[in-house]
Structure 1
Amino acid sequence: MIKSNHIYTLILVASLLFTSCSEYQKTLKNTDVKAKYDLAEELYDSGDYKRALRLFEQIAPSYVGKPQGERILYFFADAYYQTEDYYLAAYQFERFSKSYPRSDKAEEAAFLSAKSKFMLSPKYSNDQTETNEAIDKLQIFINNYPSSDYMSEANEMARELRNKLDKKAFEVAKQYNTLSDYKASIKSFELFLSDSPGSIYREDALFYKMTAEYNLAVNSIYARMEERLSAAKSTYTTLLKYFPETKYQKDADKMLAVIDNELQKFSK
C-alpha cells in the first residue's frame, strides 16, 4: 500500500511538472504579452529565475514607458543577479537606476549593479580592469548614497578590491627581487609605498625594499656601495619606526649588521 502511494505521488509530481513545462513552452510562443507578464512574475516569485528571464527578455521592450515597466525591469535585472550572470545584472541594474532615478528601488539597484561588478573581479594575478571598474562603481554609489544601509558592505567591498590591487602591485615588485633585478624592485616598491601609504602590505613592502637595496649594495662597485648601503639602512629605520615589532626583525637585523660593518670601512 505504501509503495502504491509512493508511485502515485511520483506520477502526480511528474504530471504537474509536465503540465508546468507545457504551459511554459506554450506561453513562450504565445503573442499575449499579458500572459507572459503574469507567468514571468509567477516564476520569479517562486525562484525559477532562469525560466522567468526568458519571458522578461521577451516582454521588457513592450513595457518601456508604461507603469509596469519599472517593476519588470527591476525583476529582469534581479533575475540575472540571482542566476549569477553578473555582467548582465550590472548592466540591467544600472539601466534601471538611470531609467527610474526616483524609484524606491533606485538605491538598491545602484548597489546591486556595483556589487555585480565586485563579483566579476578576478584573482589578483589576472588583469585587474574589472576590479578598477568595480571600485569606480562602488565609489559612485558611496558618494551618491552616503546614508545608505548598504554603506558598510559597499565600503568593505571597496576595501577588499583595493587590497587586491595592492597585492598585485606588491607581488610584481617582489618578483623583480626574486629575479635579482634589484633596481626595478626598488623603484616598484617606492611607487607602491607612495601610492598606497595605508596598505596592509606596507610592512612587507618596506622589508622587501630593504632586501632589494641590501642586495644591490653588496653587489655594487665600490664607488656606489656606500650610497646604496645607506639607502638600505634608511629603509630599515623606516621599517622599525612604523613597525617596531615587525615580523621581519630577525632577518632585517642580520642585514643591518652587514650594512653597519661595511659602512665602517668607509669611515676609516
Structure 2
Amino acid sequence: MAVVKSGALRQALGTALLVSVLTGCSVIGLGGKQTKEAPLDSYTPEQIYEMGEKELEVQKNPKASLRYFQEVERLYPYTEWAKRGLIMQAYTLHQTKKYDEARDAAQRYLDFYPGDEDAAYAQYLLALSYYDQIDEVGRDQGLTFQALQALRVVIEQYPDSEYAKSAMLKFDMAFDQLAAKEMEIGRYYLKRGNYAAAINRFRTVVQDYQTTSYTAEALHRLVECYLALGFTDEAQTAAAILGYNYQSSPFYEDSFKLLKGRGLEPKVKGDGWLAKVYRQMIRGEWL
C-alpha cells in the first residue's frame, strides 16, 4: 500500500487525535482500528490545561479534570500553565470534597506564588477547605477555629479582593457557630442544675462572642443561673445589660418577669464582671 504523504491529511488526523483526548474518545485510524491516547507529554502545556478545562466545564467531571491539571504542573513546572494548573487543582479537589488535599494545593500555591493575582483566591479556597467541613453544633469545633483564622487572613491581607466580602460573611457565621457551641453546653449544665459550669459558658458568650445572635439569650440564662444561686446583684446587672441592648427581645421580657417575681428590677449592682461589662458598654467599648 502506498504511503500517504498528504500534509492536509496528516493535519486532519492530528486534529482528530486531539479532539479524541478532549472528549475522552478513541481515534479511529485509517484501517478502522482504535488508537490509544497519545502520551500527555506529547502535548503543549496549554493543550493539557485545556483538556482539564473541558472535562471540568463541558463534561462536568472534576475528577477527570484533576489529572490534567496535575500533569501540566508535573510536566511543565515553573510555567504559567503549571501555575494555573495548581490553582485549578485546589479548586477541583475542593469540588470533590477532598478538603485536606485541596488545602495542600492552595497552600503550595501561596508558597510558590505569594504575590500573584490569584493568591487571594488560593487563600479563600484554603479557608473554605476548613469552613465547608463545619458540621452541626454538637461536634468538635476545632475546624471552626481554623476556618476563622484562614478567613481572617483573606479579610486582612486581601481586603480589596472579590473574596473579602464573602469571607466576612462566612467569618460571622463561623463565629456564630462557636457561640452556639458554648450555648449548647451551657444549657446542658443549666438543665442539670450545674449553675457554676453553666455560668462559665454563658459568660464566654457575653465576653468573647458579644456580636453574635446568642448574646441576648446568654444574658437571660445568666439571670436564671444567678437567681438560682441567690446572687441577686449579678442577676439584676445581667438583666440591666439585656434591657439596655435588647429591650424588645423576648429574653428581656422573661428576665424582667423573673426579677419582678422576686421583688427585684434590672439594675446595675456591685462591682463584679457584669458591672464592668456594663460600664464598658456605656463608654462604647462593648458591642
Q: TM-score range by the shorter chain?
A: 0.7 to 0.9
Task: Tell me if 1:235 matches 2:238.
Answer: yes
Instruction: Report how many aligned residue pairs link the two structures.
Output: 232
Q: Following the alignment from structure 2 to structure 1, what is the Cα–Cα distance between the partners of residues 82 and 254?
A: 65
| The 10-residue stretch of structure 1 (124-133 or 234-243) with the greater mean CA deviation from structure 2 | 234-243
Q: Following the alignment from structure 1 to structure 2, what is the Cα–Cα distance between the partners of residues 160 and 94?
A: 24
* Equivalence map 1:1-268=2 (5 Å): 20-22=24-26, 26-27=36-37, 31-35=39-43, 38-39=47-48, 41-47=50-56, 48-217=61-230, 228-260=231-263
Other-structure match for 1:11: none
Q: Following the alignment from structure 1 to structure 2, what is the Cα–Cα distance between the partners of residues 40 and 147?
A: 29
Contact 1:122 1:130 in 2 (8 A): no
Contact 2:52 2:69 in 1 (8 A): no
User: Helix, strand or coil for the counterpart of 1:78?
Assistant: helix
User: Helix, strand or coil for the counterpart of 2:109?
Assistant: helix
Q: Following the alignment from structure 1 to structure 2, what is the Cα–Cα distance between the partners of residues 250 and 78?
A: 49
Other-structure match for 1:266: none
Give the letter aligned to residue 20 of structure 1.
G
Give the letter aligned to residue 88 of structure 1.
E
Q: Following the alignment from structure 1 to structure 2, what is the Cα–Cα distance between the partners of residues 54 and 197?
A: 46
Shift of residue 45, structure 1, vs aligned partner = 2.5
Q: Flag structure 2 segments of 5+ consecutive residues without an equivalent.
A: 1-19, 28-34, 265-287
Q: Following the alignment from structure 1 to structure 2, what is the Cα–Cα distance between the partners of residues 156 and 100?
A: 26
Shift of residue 141, structure 1, vs aligned partner = 1.5
Q: Following the alignment from structure 2 to structure 1, what is the Cα–Cα distance between the partners of residues 180 and 84?
A: 41
Question: What TM-score comes out, normalization by structure 1 length?
Answer: 0.76
Instruction: Indicate the structure with greater helix content.
Output: 1
Using the aligned pairs only, state the percent identity: 23
Give the letter aligned to residue 42 of structure 1.
M
